[in-house]
Amino acid sequence: MALRLTPLHRSANRPNLFLGGDRELVMFTGVVAFALVFAAQEWTATLFGISLWLLALYLFRLMAKSDPLMRFVYLRNRVYQPYYPARSTPFRINMRERR
């Protein structure tokens, strides 16, 4: 009896990106920049808001190019950081076990 092959389509398995970066981070930064520009209504705030938006978009695109799910990896790292064992490497030779 042969194994049945089930195709996995790429469209059902893609990360959720917007403008090349993580969707939530890009949209949140856009809202913050938009609020900054229209709340302050000054040229300096406008230039700062646009530069903040473009710089954040560039960084989020780099982050998504490296790993599209890096935000989730970072958040999981922050959650599990207190549980990391105090060992330098998993291949460490334990002197107590050798005896």
Residue 44 lies inside a defined structural domain of this protein:
yes
| Residues 6 or more apart whose Cβ sits within 8 Å of residue 70 | 22, 63, 64
C-alpha Rg value of the chain to the nearest Å: 22
31 lies in a domain? yes
Residue 67 belongs to some domain of the structure = yes
pLDDT for 14: 80
- State how far the Cα of 54 lies from the Cα of 61, in Å rounded to an integer: 11
At 97, give phi and psi (nearest 5°).
Answer: -75, -20
pLDDT value of position 78: 87
Residue 46 domain-assigned?
yes
The residue range of the domain holding 29 is 16-80
Is residue 70, in this structure, part of any structural domain at all? yes
Contacts of 37 (CB under 8 A, 6+ apart): 45, 46, 49, 50
d(CA 61, CA 93) in angstroms, rounded, equals: 41
Q: What is the pLDDT of residues 24-72, one digit of tens each?
A: 999 999 999 999 999 988 999 999 999 999 999 999 999 999 988 888 8
Q: How many domains would you assign to the chain?
A: 1
Q: Which pLDDT score, from 0 to 100, does residue 54 have?
A: 94
In this prediction the pTM is 0.68
- Please tell me the predicted confidence (pLDDT) of residue 94: 65
Query: 69: helix, coil or strand?
Result: coil
- Determine, yes or no, domain membership for 66: yes
**5 is a domain residue:** no
